[in-house]
Amino acid sequence: MTSETKTAPGGTFALGGDLTVNRLGYGAMRIVGKGVWGPPEDHDRVLAVLREAVARGVNFIDTADSYGPFYSEELIKEALHPYPEDLVIATKGGFVRTGPDEWTMLGKPAYLRQQVETSLRRLGVERIDLYQLHRVDPDYPLADQVGELKALRDEGKIRHIGLSEVDVETLEEARETVEIVSVQNMYNVASRASEAVLDHAEANGIGFIPWFPVGVGKLARPGGVLDDIAKETGATPAQLALAWLLRRSPVMLPIPGTSSPEHLAENMAAAEIELTDEQFEAIAKAAE
């Protein structure tokens, strides 16, 4: 594959005030097998896509110990270690995997500690840049779950802490125990249930990592707003969806994931798209 000159896709954001990342990142859930289970069908292709993502300017990669499980972290290390100095790798813990498409929450503090330790080894790092609680387990006090992550941070094994799939109330409860620098919720042009969380994150300088960022729903159907703008601009609906997210908020950190070099190139090109005010508002209103 032909690599392009490194740029800052979509501008930059400083996670926790001290980790500057290019806002258009890469999500590493899809580099494993079907059902987010087992190894990838094409091992070498996955390694090549990871390397190409970094070559194209990605310096923020999001993964989790549950992706595979474990395979995603191992593939990242195989492809990219020793890591570029500016590469920020975020991972997550808090799920137990028992089979394809099976996800069981486990926020027991001792389990979270174990997962941090094993992620450190799989990624080949001494400290994890951003460690996210993959889900808040209702069977354990939130203060105990994030409190254990705080202890690991204080021990130098985690640099920053984030949460995934939380509301504003839960985010604020967690912040009473430890600083939270990011939130990862589902959010895209067609699904905006986390609008209040995004606004709260922006107001407090917290990074917002939308998972499933290229979800377009009915907006890309013939006659839909994304279809219409795609015809006007020559961009794809997925590119427009990413461009809209990048404009929506300066704390937005989309992480489109793919194991296809063609889709990677398409996603990265979205950072160069500048929506007009009218196009931005049309997309915003279409999902309201």
Report, as residue numbers or ranges, the catalytic residues.
67
Residue 39 CB burial class (10 angstroms; 0-12, 13-18, ≥19): middle
85: DSSP letter: T
Give the CA angle between residues 243, 80, 22 to the nearest 5°. Answer: 25
Backbone angles phi, psi at 208, to 5 degrees: -120, 115
Instruction: Please list the residues that pair with 15 across neighbouring strands.
Output: 19
Which tokens go with 256?
Answer: 């489109």
CA–CA gap between residue 288 and residue 113 (Å, rounded): 41
Indicate the helix (H) or strand (E) that contains 278. helix 277-286
Give the list of residues 6+ apart from residue 68 with CB closer than 8 angstroms, or none.
32, 33, 36, 37, 38, 39, 74, 97
Residue 96 DSSP SS3: strand
For residues 216 and 242, the answer to whether their CB atoms sit within 8 Å is no
